[in-house]
Structure 1
Amino acid sequence: MSMIGGARSSLGAPSSKAVRFQLDFNLKANLLKHANREDCQYNELVQKIKDHGQDIRDDDLAQLLKEARGCISLLDDNFRLFVQVVLILEWTHRSPDVISEYQGFLLDLCAAHNYYTKHVIDQFIASFRRGGPGEWKDGLPSEEGVNCFSHIHDTIRQLLKVVPMSKDILISAIKSSVPFYKRPPKDHESFVYNALQISKYLPSERYGLLKVIISHLTTLDVNSPRSSLEQRETPCSMDVDSVFPMDDIIHPVAFNLDVALNVLFIYCKDEVIVADKVNMDKLKSLYHDLVKVFEDVVLPTHATQHVQFLIFYLLGLKPSLAPHFIGHLWNKATDPNIPPIIRQSAVCYVASLIARANYISITTTKATITEISTWIHRYINSQDEGSANTPYVDTRVHGVFYMTCQALFYIIGFRYKELVNNQGLTMLNSINLQKIVTCRLNPLRVCSPVVASNFASIARAYQLAYCYTIMERNQRNNLPIVNREAGSSVSTLMSIQLDSFFPFDPYLLVRTKKYVETYYREYTEPNNDEHGKKTSNEDEDDFLEDVTGTSAPTNFSYSSSPGFLHIQ
């Protein structure tokens, strides 16, 4: 192969430094000589492709690929170097002839020598990681980028038919290619975008792909401190393209989460909305996949703040699914065979969804309150039977009970106005809240002060229960909390409160907030008579201070704020 001037650059434009490759020998004969260890131009060929491959003119490259396809049977492991330098060529931006010949070469190669399949797929995934040419805009690649990615996906689709085993190799490669959480934003966008594209022609693998994607987003989420987003500090320095305005970059990892989530929100919207209407069959299919991923990844994970809003958004598209999701979570919460930490998390999701989602009907809210209170009363009765009436608190043994009580208080505190205006006061009187707050397990002692204080004011205003005497006595007596280690008769007195857990606290990511705010309920402050004291004029969804002036505990919490206002 000789070189003469006048080639195109890698983008097809003329380049003064470009070189022309001409194949001035029979490639097949040359490869045979190399196989027989005879002197040939094989090594020179490999080196020139490696050094100048991106400068090869389209017609020269098409000719090389065409001749290489005629030698496919020869390209065993002895010609690995030749195959590797061809694989690293950038081809998706070239002429239709080159694209066709390149795709044909890859398919013929993998069909004849399937041990090359992994190398081919790894190279595809590497192309995805590079993000494609041009700038991304609002979660989508440039038009040139879309075209380049589509050529790769078209080749993968054909490869899946030619080499069935390639599906397992592809899925494994995707799992191995998850970008490090501190990588540039484009890496995360491209990874999510292309994994979702694969799910379109491998629908049976969509659950697994969504699990990989959402596991990655969960990693970004737990590494995005809420405090940094709430403070809206000066944007940190970051090497990003101009398409990402610096004033949006509050925290680099949170920014990565925002742009990656944006791609997934776009996918969810495009997948289920057809001709401006929700396609119920598509929605149900995606819903079931996302619920499974939610159970496997999000529900057991500590401190996610935004990933769970994917379900929140999907339910908003079809609110009739919300009761099913709430019922599904409640079944988990009341299943004694499920670990307590998961049961507590499920309860918190039930309460936070009912409080924050404006598409949760008052009928569903009343039904859930009734079901929760019924379970609480059964639990109280089971503890009172044959037991002394000495008050005690055991957060290890009764953690699910306390979290369920807090969920009940939280829902009532958030939705009380609608309940009162929709004949819910009779229902609230019927669930005997007084017995709950005065039971020997003393739930007000360990509930978040934020929730307890707000609930107490509502309960007093509507004469549902009298909590302040109990709360003052708890403060005065500092009742001990018993924590028994499993299998031990020794009790340790601890002074802790129930962990606060509000998964649908206000959404703080700039780009993707638009998908949430349509369906989001802000807290409506009580009037002066309901609190018995004036409320502040501070912004909505601020902290509510407890009677001691301290804020709610933040350990094991998505946020320490359930969204209530300060009380002065």
Structure 2
Amino acid sequence: MTVSMTAQLARVATTGPLKPILKSPSSIIGVRRSRDEAGLDDGDSDAGTSEGARSPSRKRVRVEFDLDNIEIYEIGSRSVEEIRNEIRDALDRHTQGEDEDYDILKQTLQGKSVSYQEDDDDDVIDPVAIAKQRQELKGYYIALTAFASRLGRSCDGLVKGVLQCQWLGRDDQFAKIYIQFLAALVSAQGPRLTQVLSMIVDKFCSSRLSEWAVEGWPSVPRGAVQERIHVALRYILRLFPVAESILDPILAGHYPFHEDPKRAHLAYVDNLLRLRQYSPKLRNLIIDLIISRLVKIDVEMQMDLDDMDDTLAAMVGMALKSAQEHEHQDEEDSDDSDNESVSSAESEDDEYVRVKTAKENIEKMDSILDSLFELYTPVFANPQSKEAMDVFEYLLTEFSHLILPTIKSRHTQFLIFHFGQQSERLMDAFCGTCINIAFESQRPLILRQSACAYLASFVARGAHVPGHIVVKVFEVLGYHLDEMRAVYEVSCRGPDVRRWQDLIRSVPEDVDKEDPLSYLDQEIEWECALPSSSTNLLNLRTTSDLIFPIGAYSNGGALRDMSFDVNDESWQQLGSYFPFDPYQLPKSKRWVDADYLPWRPIPGLNPEELGDDSDGEEVDDEDDEIDEDTATEEGVEGDD
């Protein structure tokens, strides 16, 4: 039995009662000190065993840390109680207007205190002194927990400093202590919840070691950093259910700006999808946020490529190909190589910036869409299930409100294209949605035309759409057209041909200006060359234009001529807008390759008969592969 992803995520979110995140059998506050200082024999190498807890059997003492039980342990040469007294005095003096000790405390809590050295003239820092300082910082946060109720508005500066502490780059024990302090702070100071959540979400974009590393502490791998972020966030959400409603606008506010680097976007989306696993209330909101930002990238990428000449488009393809060759390098190395692969020029001139921006946008689109395809694929393992239908209905909502109204959306719609072909029931749902929008008179005309384009493109390009579905679509369209004819035919009036007279310079004498039929087959002299015969007017749009231009993809047309422009009146006429043009994003195209029917000429039809626009191009009927290269395709040719 296949278990869908949504069910798996729901199971994660309901895994029983909350367990203390600081429950760690070996987590004793303290450091391994010298034998004389700690009172340990040579044979005892356990760190953190306090003097009072030692027994003849020399067993390791186990301590559980939880929110309501903060015990006092010895920290180096100082106890937690001593540190508490120091914090109490600093807060008391701050209340009285004396901030010297308060400012020192703020600096200490940020981890910026001066390192211990045996000799001021010695550049080498004593490792024992470093260990003391690390452990004292842990002691400060344990002690500060007892004063959470005093950290109100008057202590905004101290709380701000605490939230700026680089806790992700320290050891596991410090991270647990810090997370527990955050929980105590929010419990005692409810308004601080927004600050705490903002601080955690701000870490979503972190992807480089330099962004969390702390000097003097062992380096922490990216996977461990990401785990700490979500341990903290999950803990806060489960302790304070109201946090989910507060988190929604925070997630939107911290989403990377459009011009931010690819690595920031990918890291943020990855963390959003992890959050989605344990926050059922935010699942749809997270997808809505991702898709809305994805559509914006999609449009900008399309507009950038539309404005490029073939040389710049080729440079984008070469940059993508170079990036693929370095795909398995470390994150930081690949970032450097990405920049170098765009151009050999050392200075970032206008062309370099344009190509780099287009390349990064393509990669953002590609990776994020790949993640969304992977996320939803298990849900549609059983496309007949209620769960699959529920998810698809939500995708349809996203399609109707975000994708359909967006001019030049090029790739985001392939989510609905792919999953909509998983069953006839889903196909029917998508086609029905498009038809409903197309024939709702209160909808804007441009939106209704877009729905028609999506419907036509889906039926024409969907490899898994069976013939009887196509027939059904035509039957429904015919029914609606008959209804429209019945409504409008009675009052329908032809064009007022008398307006033509304004454009006429002269006519033969036997023409009766009151009788439009008398103008037929007459030699008419026009004021301008615009009026023409119906045959010439129809030739403004040839048959090849109304379908797919044969050479459109070889020159980048599939990427750069995707849609209509609201300022261009040609959208009011029949056009060649096909929302499901060939999908060529290098990484994520694997999901839709089997779903897509490429354009092929009608057997026996000479392409030269399609019109002058064909430029005499010939199509080899025996060639199964139609040239559909795009700017993105250039970078991936030969890798499939």
What are the residue-to-residue correspondences of 1:389-468 with 2, within 5 Å? 450-452=544-546
CA-CA distance at 1:346 after TM superposition: 0.9
349, 363, 367: which one pairs with 1:258?
A: 363
Counterpart residue number, 1:337: 442
2:315 counterpart of 1:234: yes
19, 30, 42: which one pairs with 2:90?
A: 30
269, 281, 287: which one pairs with 1:210?
A: 287
Point out the more displaced range, 38-47 or 367-376. 38-47
Counterpart residue number, 1:289: 394
CA-CA distance at 1:170 after TM superposition: 1.2
Counterpart residue number, 1:540: 626
CA-CA distance at 1:144 after TM superposition: 3.5
Matched positions, count: 435
Structure 1 residues 216, 48: CA separation in 2 closer, same or farther (over 3 Å shift)?
same
CA-CA distance at 1:443 after TM superposition: 11
Distance 2:478 2:537 in 1: 13
2:359 counterpart of 1:359: no
What are the residue-to-residue correspondences of 1:67-82 with 2, within 5 Å? 67-82=143-158
Bigger Cα Rg: 2
Distance 1:127 1:162 in 2: 20
Counterpart residue number, 2:101: 41
Distance 2:547 2:398 in 1: 35
Distance 1:313 1:494 in 2: 30
CA offsets 1:317-357 (integer angstroms, 9 cap, x no match): 44541121111211111111222221111111101111112
Counterpart residue number, 1:171: 248
Counterpart residue number, 2:428: 323
Point out the more displaced range, 346-355 or 501-510. 501-510
Distance 2:399 2:454 in 1: 11
CA contact under 8 A between 2:379 and 2:388: conserved in structure 1? no
What are the residue-to-residue correspondences of 1:151-190 with 2, within 5 Å? 151-190=228-267
What is the SS of the residue equivalent to 2:287?
helix
2:197 counterpart of 1:103: no
272, 278, 283: which one pairs with 1:195?
A: 272
What are the residue-to-residue correspondences of 1:457-496 with 2, within 5 Å? none
Distance 2:618 2:275 in 1: 52
CA offsets 1:33-58 (integer angstroms, 9 cap, x no match): 33233576221222344472798754
Counterpart residue number, 2:202: 126
Point out the more displaced range, 520-529 or 232-241. 232-241
Letter in 2 for 1:540: I
Letter in 2 for 1:525: P
Distance 1:268 1:212 in 2: 16
Distance 1:273 1:380 in 2: 45
What is the SS of the residue equivalent to 1:41?
helix
Structure 1 residues 541, 373: CA separation in 2 closer, same or farther (over 3 Å shift)?
farther
Structure 1 residues 195, 132: CA separation in 2 closer, same or farther (over 3 Å shift)?
farther
Letter in 2 for 1:30: A
CA-CA distance at 1:495 after TM superposition: 12
Distance 2:256 2:290 in 1: 11
Counterpart residue number, 2:408: 303
What is the SS of the residue equivalent to 2:592?
helix
CA contact under 8 A between 2:208 and 2:332: conserved in structure 1? no
Q: TM-score scaled to structure 2, two decimals?
A: 0.59
Distance 1:85 1:333 in 2: 56
Counterpart residue number, 1:483: none
Counterpart residue number, 2:589: 513
Counterpart residue number, 1:115: 191
Where relative contact order (Cα < 8 A, 6+ residues apart) is larger, the structure is: 2
Instruction: Report % sequence identity.
Output: 22
Letter in 2 for 1:536: E
Cα RMSD, aligned residues only: 4.1
Q: TM-score scaled to structure 1, two decimals?
A: 0.66
CA-CA distance at 1:130 after TM superposition: 2.6
238, 243, 262: which one pairs with 2:334?
A: 243
CA offsets 1:292-314 (integer angstroms, 9 cap, x no match): 11111111111111111121122
CA contact under 8 A between 1:258 and 1:512: conserved in structure 2? no
Distance 1:353 1:230 in 2: 29
Distance 1:504 1:269 in 2: 20
CA-CA distance at 1:171 after TM superposition: 0.8
CA contact under 8 A between 1:30 and 1:41: conserved in structure 2? yes
CA-CA distance at 1:167 after TM superposition: 2.2
193, 207, 225: which one pairs with 1:148?
A: 225
What is the SS of the residue equivalent to 2:334?
coil
Structure 1 residues 182, 337: CA separation in 2 closer, same or farther (over 3 Å shift)?
same
Structure 1 residues 322, 447: CA separation in 2 closer, same or farther (over 3 Å shift)?
farther
CA contact under 8 A between 2:366 and 2:585: conserved in structure 1? no
CA-CA distance at 1:72 after TM superposition: 1.3
CA offsets 1:467-523 (integer angstroms, 9 cap, x no match): xxxxxxxxxxxxxxxxxxxxxxxxxx9997434421111123222222222211111
Distance 2:237 2:110 in 1: 28
CA offsets 1:413-465 (integer angstroms, 9 cap, x no match): xxxxxxxxxxxxxxxxxxxxxxxxxxx9x99688675354789xxxxxxxxxx
CA contact under 8 A between 1:53 and 1:89: conserved in structure 2? no
